[in-house]
Amino acid sequence: MAFQYRRTSMTMMDMNFKYCHKIMKKHSKSFSYAFDLLPEDQRKAVWAIYAVCRKIDDSIDVYGDIQFLNQIKEDIQSIEKYPYEHHHFQSDRRIMMALQHVAQHKNIAFQSFYNLIDTVYKDQHFTMFETDAELFGYCYGVAGTVGEVLTPILSDHETHQTYDVARRLGESLQLINILRDVGEDFDNERVYFSKQRLKQYEVDIAEVYQNGVNNHYIDLWEYYAAIAEKDFQDVMDQIKVFSIEAQPIIELAARIYIEILDEVRQANYTLHERVFVDKRKKAKLFHEINSKYHRI
């Protein structure tokens, strides 16, 4: 049964959710474009969860504030232990009040929040991954966890399969982020491709950044792109684990993201420009999926 929010003209809780929505629209236009099409209660829950995850990410990357990250964790723990009690939240009161409201109606996978927080803690002292296993573990920590947290919102009955599919989708989208942002990450003194794979393909990212893309780099990039595309297809093959309302929305979000890979290819794998999927292509995908499901 779908959960219902009390509807008034503009309650304080409505304002909290609106605040979360602004955060999502600012930081992920693709996610907002897709998930804003969900029924009201579901999209509000997605806004709240996205805002929490964004604050966790930004606590170190943007604010450089470990205390703020600790406060976020303590606030989430308070909601988990006492979802119906009044709390004096320490981090971002509006986001936490929205999350608490969601937690009163849905079984939130709180451990996934903590796994995300642990990954952000470790990311303070970034070192290159030795193996792909470490890279994929990172993708789980920063994005597979988000898929897990969203699972109760996007499915009618959470099962092991549902969590697994949502987790794999999150990991795939994170790998796409990495493939899109190679140059930007290098500017920030980060290389996410594993040392194992860089050595195998004889790639030095610093050299590619300075001298331009070569065939070795393209082969390496396409190796990882093939993994992301396979995971994407596996998720699409199991899309029915999600609720009827969520299926077209998830497919739209995922297809917008997978389109990023072709944008990188069309830009000749550049490390000096961030590519994006323009509004025209998003609209085209929307109409394709709308025709498929007949009801977005």
Report the number of secondary-structure helices (H) and strands (E) in the chain.
15, 0
Domain-located, residue 24: yes
Domain-located, residue 2: no
Domain extent, residue 59, equals: 12-125
Q: Same domain for 232 and 95?
A: no
Q: Same domain for 290 and 161?
A: yes
Length of the chain: 296
Q: Same domain for 136 and 121?
A: no
- Of 125, 142, 157, the last residue of a domain is 125
Q: Same domain for 139 and 212?
A: yes
Q: What is the sign, positive or negative, of the torsion defined by CA atoms of 296, 24, 161, 237?
A: positive
pLDDT (tens place) for every residue of the chain, 296 residues total? 445 545 544 699 999 999 999 999 999 888 898 999 999 999 999 999 999 999 999 998 777 889 999 999 999 999 999 999 999 999 999 999 999 999 999 999 999 999 999 999 998 889 999 999 999 999 999 999 999 999 999 999 889 999 999 999 999 999 999 999 999 999 999 999 999 999 999 999 999 999 999 999 999 999 999 999 999 999 999 999 999 999 999 999 999 999 999 999 999 999 999 999 999 999 999 999 988 887 55
Q: Same domain for 119 and 247?
A: no
Q: Same domain for 166 and 289?
A: yes
Q: Same domain for 159 and 260?
A: yes
- Of 69, 91, 125, the last residue of a domain is 125
Q: For residue 167, which of 220, 262, 238 has the smallest C-alpha distance?
A: 238
Domain-located, residue 6: no
Half-sphere exposure of 60 (CA within 13 A, CB side): 17
Q: Measure CA of the first residue to CA of the last residue in the chain; give whole Å.
A: 20
Largest CA distance in the chain: 61
How confident is the model at residue 29, as a pLDDT? 85
Domain-located, residue 146: yes
Domain-located, residue 1: no
Q: Same domain for 235 and 137?
A: yes
Q: Which CATH number belongs to the domain containing residue 289 in this structure?
A: 1.10.600.10
DSSP 66-118: HHHHHHHHHHHHHHHH-TTS----SS-HHHHHHHHHHHTTS---HHHHHHHHH
Q: Same domain for 79 and 177?
A: no
Number of domains in the chain: 2
- Of 67, 91, 125, the last residue of a domain is 125
Domain-located, residue 5: no
Domain-located, residue 80: yes
Q: Measured between alpha carbons, how far is 121 from 115 in angstroms, rounded to an integer?
A: 10
Domain-located, residue 99: yes
How confident is the model at residue 8, as a pLDDT? 44
